[in-house]
Structure 1
Amino acid sequence: MGDYVNIVYGKNLPTKNLLKQGYAVFGGNGKIGHYNKFLYEESQVLISCRGEASGKVNVSERKSFVTNNSLILERVKDKDITFEYLKYWCLSNNFSIYVSGSAQPQVTIEGLYGADFLKPNLDIIKEFSKIVLDFENKIENNSKQIQNLQAMRDIMLPKLLSGEVEV
């Protein structure tokens, strides 16, 4: 794996510094809050590296902060690995086999560096990514529509129940 991605730890961020609004913060179990700074402009593939969730794969949002409870798999741009391929390859693999430590489970950079990584030819990766992106764009559009509908419901339902608006 280390031939295709740079594996780095996230940055320390005490939970007392988390905010209610701002950029998303990702810890070992996924999104844990917000912060006023971000580390990555683009989404990243994360592997939980400390505690019970060690080996769990997460995907950060764009413009997010990643804590040191996760390893970040930074794509090496000249290695012909798309983000979509890396994301789905990782989501379909079991990284718990790289967990070590007796007192506290952990996954280390050294442990992941030599992990097997299947890289098909570039044409297959590009075609896979094209298909996946079409679906992900549809999912994103549907999610936005759902949020809009939920907001409209939240505004209209109390008015309907109070009789302020009639159908």
Structure 2
Amino acid sequence: MKFKTTKLENLCELITDGSHYSPPSENEGYYMASVKDMSDYNFKFDECRKISEVEYKKLVKSGCEPKKDDVIISKDGSPLSNIFIFNEKVPMVILSSIAIIRTDKKKILPDYLKYYLENKQVKNYIQSSYTSGSVIPRIVLKDFKKFPIEYPEISIQKKIIKILSDIDKKIMKNISINNNLEQLVESIFTNWFVKCEPFKDENFIEHSWTNFPESWELIRLKEIIHITSGKRPSAKEDLKKDEFIYPLYGASSIMGYVSEYSYNEPILLIGRVGTLGIVQRVVDKCHPSDNTLVIKSKYYEYLFQILKRINYDAYNTGSTQPLITQKAISNIEIPLPPSSELDKFEKISSTLYSEVYKNNREIQKLTKLRDTLLPKLMSGEIDVSEINFD
């Protein structure tokens, strides 16, 4: 297979970022996304701000509206951490923390460029050579336009895309199934313990969290949980390496890997310092950092739903940065349904989440396969010229 090399700008019709002006938010209106609203495959529309029609039209005129088949990349904060193809029909605009790349499809296909930029070697090189900013790293677009791209003819690009996108479709299918399963658990919880449908014939007691049936108890969380702080690891790596194979959890996500785990059982993690309000489920070997609070309970599934509904800002005692204590969490009052109903919910939810964990393991395997194939396909080490998909 033959590859050509040229500057990125020679393969594109447009390379730009979004608006450097941030209009005021509105309750209703048009979506406006920043880098925090990106995921691996799309925008998180439920987290996007909304702006007025007047402001939306201004930003559209300024070229801040993504079009179908645009390559969308995270430009600021964690450059290239999210890259996807925009295929939505939803009218929206973006802020300057996001970049739009519109390819010349006669030269390079959008999906090929997306996969090319997702190659870890390419990504690392761009992050080290085409970014600036010590506090908030960002891609410098005027330099990024000069980035050299290696690409084969369109017919070869299509074959490479076919191989990688088939894997991605399986990943996305599992993600979709997991979302549906999680929403089902959420729906059961709401029906049973928020709307209290199984208890509708009882008298209800008024409470700030919810009006609850008289057969329930009003308790403090410390009566059903064991809570402790995570620990700072002696050493860590940003990526899995040698014996550093166990995930190190921070207040909102995995922040690295360590050589020794401290838990190998179902736990729930919430932020202790810094980021508050994100609840993480962990069932495999791991090490929670000192930025977290580690919670265990025999009512794991019920507690997970409860923790997601707490307003953590109300318990923040930090001055320079958010801080929440074990004592504050332990003393939160909640209504507790009868154990018979809790046991039913635990059984149903744990069964559904076992499927989620199974799908997650498959996602990890598929992701590893894709990431192994990607650089070999992009370099020509794996020759696809003789493959026929018809």
TM-score by length of 1: 0.80
* SS at 1:118 equivalent: strand
Q: Give the C-alpha shift of residue 28 in structure 1.
A: 1.1
Paired residues of 1:43 and 1:63 also in contact (CA < 8 A): no
Q: Give the C-alpha shift of residue 152 in structure 1.
A: 6.5
CA distance in 2, matches of 1:120, 1:142: 31
Of structures 1 and 2, the one with the larger relative CO (CA 8 A, separation 6+) is: 1
CA distance in 1, matches of 2:268, 2:303: 8
- The number of equivalent residue pairs is 159
Structure 1, unaligned runs of 5 or more: 76-80
CA distance in 1, matches of 2:325, 2:223: 16
- Other-structure match for 1:84: 301
Which of 261, 279, 290 aligns to 1:38? It is 261
Which of 220, 236, 261 aligns to 1:18? It is 236
Which of 334, 346, 354 aligns to 1:129? It is 346
What stretches of structure 1 move > 6 A for 4+ residues in a row? none
Q: Give the C-alpha shift of residue 116 in structure 1.
A: 1.1
Task: Give CA-to-partner distance per residue, 1:71-128, whole Å, 9 cap, x none.
Answer: 11132xxxxx322222222123322321112222200112112111332111111111
Q: Give the C-alpha shift of residue 41 in structure 1.
A: 0.9
The verdict on how the C-alpha distance between 1:138 and 1:69 changes in structure 2, with shifts beyond 3 A counting, is same
- Other-structure match for 1:78: none
| Greater radius of gyration (CA) | 2
Paired residues of 1:9 and 1:72 also in contact (CA < 8 A): yes
Task: Give CA-to-partner distance per residue, 1:37-72, whole Å, 9 cap, x none.
Answer: 111111311120112x12432223411001110111
Q: Which amino acid aligns with 2:337?
A: P
Q: Give the C-alpha shift of residue 26 in structure 1.
A: 0.5
Report matched runs for 1:101-120 at 5 Å: 101-120=318-337
Paired residues of 2:251 and 2:271 also in contact (CA < 8 A): yes
TM-score by length of 2: 0.37
Q: Give the C-alpha shift of residue 8 in structure 1.
A: 0.9
Fraction of identical pairs, as percent: 22
Structure 2, unaligned runs of 5 or more: 1-220
